[in-house]
Copies of this chain bind each other. A is one copy, B any other.
């Protein structure tokens, strides 16, 4: 029991009611969420608090940012063993043009990418757009 609390402790962040709520919200969702999604889910809470909570989660490698091309940043929980390292934890994201939802395809690691001489790759972001399994059936 108290697993989230213990997890927060390993990440060296304080356990607060707000953080637990937001963490559980993200864990329940199977899709990446925007800041305004979180705002709608927690209307009593202040926007800034939600914003800073997500930023803290991001710094501590609890969530990762996703830029799916919709113009709004989305967030999703990292995998348990994630260290946010290149070549290890980079998976691709799928954005559905119909339901507008973005999911992490954590099993699909990003293929090796070649860059020209003189360029140094540090991070890779791969977003596939199309129709998701729910919408195509």
Contact = CB atoms under 8 A, between A and B. Distances in A.
Interface residues of A, number: 36
Question: How many copies of this kind of chain does the complex include?
Answer: 2
Interface in A109-127: 111-127
A124 B118 CA distance: 25
A126 B125 contact: yes
B118 A122 contact: no
A87 interface: no
Interface stretch (A39-47, A54-62, A65-73, A77-85): A65-73
B115 A124 contact: no
* 4 cross-chain pairs, A with B, having the tightest CB-CB distances, nearest first: A118-B133, A122-B130, A123-B129, A120-B131
